[in-house]
Amino acid sequence: MAKTGPQKYPDASLSYWWQTAYPGNAMESNVGVLHTTEGRTLPDYRGGRDAPNFTALPDIPNRKIKWYQHFDFDTSSRALMNLSGGVETNTANAVQIELVGTCDERNAVTWDGKRAGVDYIFWPAAPDWLLAELAKFVRWAHDNHGIRLASAVTWKAYNKGQVGGSYGANGVRLSGAQWQAYYGWLGHQHVPENDHGDPGNINFTRVLALAGGGAAQPTPEENGVALTQERSDSWNAMIWGLKNTTEATLARLTALETLVKLLAADQDLDESAIATAVENAVAKALRENTVAVDVTVQNSSTAKG
Ligand SMILES: [Zn+2]
């Protein structure tokens, strides 16, 4: 493949470059996969054997990410499991980023005597400056490589060892076919043939809003339904993550239809209940790849070509 576009992220350190030892495959990355390292320092990745394309090391005092690049943007890296048979993972046009820190709730406040937000990052509660730094990368990947500013998955909390956690068969992991059809951003917890649950429930909606230049502030609508900017961005992200425009159109119709039914059924509006119902309907439609839209359209007698 061609490896279109700039292959190095500006200012990323190349001091831990693993592509010479592990040349990988040429790709055209169209999916970004996020991991958390579950550590507090730059990993060695077993001499590069398990390395991602990039490592994002938070520089907390200076409110920046120190970026390390290990492979070209469009060269396959090595942080995913790939079983024999089935689908490809590392080589499936997937650029991978390891975020240094943890998504494990047991480390949400302290970890081996260190303090979250001061000495290390608990990513589900990452500060806004850090999400903005990640958003810069997401924006660059969009502008230079066409990786969509979208995420059509649910980011589940890690909850290690607990029922409902993000490890293993977590209900949000994609099938092989869904993975092959996916464009945009997701996490290790969504990749088939893998069981890891990182990066937990990071606020990727906020990252997308920052990458898109959105304010992500609540903006109550005039009619009293508080469709927040964040929620609107989330729905848009889910829908725009779809490869297939027919699917996207049907998903949009489902969202609208559900909203309209709810509004019509009850004048005493509970905006969070409406939002949840719409989100569930869209997620179900995306998951099952089947959209039931029972809207009767009055067609004119002459079909348009
Ligand atoms: Zn991972």
Structural contact between residues 58 and 130, judged by C-beta atoms closer than 8 angstroms: yes
How far is the centre of ligand 1, averaged over its atoms, from the C-alpha of 300 (Å)? 53
User: How far, CA to CA in Å, does 246 sit from each of 17, 27, 239, 252, 279?
Assistant: 41, 26, 11, 10, 19
Domain ranges of the chain: 1-216, 217-292
How far is the centre of ligand 1, averaged over its atoms, from the C-alpha of 45 (Å)? 12
The per-residue pLDDT for 2 is 86
How far is the centre of ligand 1, averaged over its atoms, from the C-alpha of 158 (Å)? 12
N residues, the chain: 305
The per-residue pLDDT for 259 is 64
How far is the centre of ligand 1, averaged over its atoms, from the C-alpha of 153 (Å)? 16
- Which amino acid would we find at residue 284? K
Residue from 52, 66, 236 nearest 134 by CA: 66
282 contact partners, CB below 8 Å, separation of at least 6: 235, 238, 239, 251, 254, 255, 258
How far is the centre of ligand 1, averaged over its atoms, from the C-alpha of 289 (Å)? 27
The per-residue pLDDT for 215 is 41
Q: Helix crossing, 245-265 with 229-240: angle to 10°?
A: 140
Residue ranges of the chain with per-residue pLDDT less than 70: 213-251, 253-256, 258-276, 278, 282, 285-286, 289-305
Residues, Cβ < 5 Å to ion ligand 1: 35, 188, 196, 198
Residue 219: other Cβ atoms inside 10 A: 12
| φ and ψ at residue 13, rounded to 5 degrees | -75, 140
Structural contact between residues 116 and 125, judged by C-beta atoms closer than 8 angstroms: yes
The CATH T-level fold of domain 1-216 is Lysozyme-like (3.40.80)
How far is the centre of ligand 1, averaged over its atoms, from the C-alpha of 67 (Å)? 17
Residue from 114, 134, 111, 124 nearest 165 by CA: 124
How far is the centre of ligand 1, averaged over its atoms, from the C-alpha of 191 (Å)? 10
How far is the centre of ligand 1, averaged over its atoms, from the C-alpha of 302 (Å)? 54
Q: Which residue has the tokens 């470059």?
A: 17
The per-residue pLDDT for 248 is 65
- Which amino acid would we find at residue 168? G
How far is the centre of ligand 1, averaged over its atoms, from the C-alpha of 189 (Å)? 8
The per-residue pLDDT for 172 is 98
The per-residue pLDDT for 13 is 98
- Which amino acid would we find at residue 245? T
